[in-house]
Structure 1
Amino acid sequence: MTIRFPAPGDAGRATLSVTKVGPNEIEYEVKSGNNRSSGGARGPGQGCLTYLRDRGSGNSCGTLAPTRPSPQPGAVVIQAATGTDGTALLHIVSP
């Protein structure tokens, strides 16, 4: 599955590709301008947050609450997480 959305700043469009999904598992890759980032989660309650900014991106992975992340000024936030019931959750939050 591929999702396209406006990238922050002047980067144009970004692309999020879900590369793997299953019970308690999700993996993805994000492309925005010349930046690429990838992340994934395995096991109940795990996840990654990717922050896309006009001058780069960054990831943070580990134990996450399955709630939607808060909007961040000047950034698109992508959260991929696994729920405690075996589901995979994906959120894209823009400012």
Structure 2
Amino acid sequence: MTKLGPNTVEYTVKSGSGHSSGGAGGPGQGCITVLRANGSGNSCGALGDGRPSRQPNAVVIQVATGQAGTAILDIVSD
């Protein structure tokens, strides 16, 4: 985590020689980062309920904002 506050989260994930970063602010907001052998990508915005979906040959990381300066982290892999 590079920044964490009430309903605010920013982070950077390093994988091999690359990295991906994201950030979101507001209730129910967050980011999903997908790490693969040939690169990574992420998207940020409103998140639905539940854990992120598994993707073939990937690690999926979901970071969501929380109240009182907390964050919710989910990691799934294939």
**TM class by smaller structure:** 0.7 to 0.9
TM-score by length of 1: 0.73
1-structure distance, mates of 2:75, 2:22: 14
1-structure distance, mates of 2:55, 2:35: 10
Aligned-partner SS, 1:70 = coil
Structure 1 residue ranges (4+ consecutive) displaced by more than 4 angstroms after TM superposition: none
2:75 match: 92
1:28 match: 11
Aligned-pair RMSD on alpha carbons? 1.3
> Is 1:57 equivalent to 2:40 in the alignment?
yes
Among 9, 17, 20, the alignment partner of 1:37 is 20
TM-score by length of 2: 0.88
Among 39, 47, 52, the alignment partner of 2:30 is 47
Alignment gaps of 5+ in structure 1:
1-17
The percentage of aligned residue pairs carrying the same residue is 68
2:60 match: 77
Aligned-partner SS, 1:73 = coil
Alignment gaps of 5+ in structure 2:
none
